[in-house]
Chains A and B, each alone.
Chain A
Amino acid sequence: EPEVTQTPSHQVTQMGQEVILRCVPISNHLYFYWYRQILGQKVEFLVSFYNNEISEKSEIFDDQFSVERPDGSNFTLKIRSTKLEDSAMYFCASGVRYSNQPQHFGDGTRLSIL
């Protein structure tokens, strides 16, 4: 069964450094998402992406965050200047259509900011 893959599985970064989290969505999916989950808490929506542009973003997704689909397969999340509170598990998800369709999640990248 096709899967969403994320790399790296764990990223340790100094505060203030830039970090890029990578995702390869399922190949025939058109909608892409990033979520984060602080340890022991709920999954929080960050951003949705369709047709090479952001379609919706949450209040968490401020100017320090950006997303990109640099080629036909990768979908990246960049945090420009990391803060301690950015430490979390970041999940990428993809879906065929946004409405009334399940989202398929990757295994996540655990981001630790020192």
Chain B
Amino acid sequence: GQQVMQIPQYQHVQEGEDFTTYCNSSTTLSNIQWYKQRPGGHPVFLIQLVKSGEVKKQKRLTFQFGEAKKNSSLHITATQTTDVGTYFCAGRDSNFGNEKLTFGTGTRLTIIP
């Protein structure tokens, strides 16, 4: 079945440093979504990427979808303590009619003040 892996599993950064998490799918995706889960919280939708090579920005966050639509990345510039949490990518297989959203293994970000 489809597998979605993320690296790194954990990332500890000093406040102000940059952070990147990488997401890789075993199958081609129709689209990819990114979610953030704060400790003890629920996943919160951040963004969706649909087109091959697409890049989207949200303030300090930059999201990229690979040309082959099998990988994606999230980059945070100048991290802040509010960025703490686990970042999950979630992708849909490109097979028509497949609704299942497969979440990645997640990257837990902790910030050292």
Residues of A within 8 A of B (CB): 31, 33, 35, 42-45, 48, 55-56, 58-59, 91, 98-108
Q: Is the CB of B99 within 8 A of A48?
A: yes
Residues of B within 8 A of A (CB): 1, 30-31, 33, 35, 37, 41-45, 48, 50, 88, 90, 92, 98-106
Q: Which of B33, B48, B98 is A56 in contact with, Cβ under 8 Å?
A: B98
A-B contact count (CB 8 A): 52
Most chain A CB inside 10 Å of its own CB: which residue of B48, B50, B101, B104: B101
Which residues of chain B are within 8 angstroms of A106 by Cβ–Cβ distance? 42
Chain A at the B interface: mostly helix, strand, loop or mixed?
loop
* A42 CA to B103 CA, complexed, in Å: 7
* A31 CA to B104 CA, complexed, in Å: 21
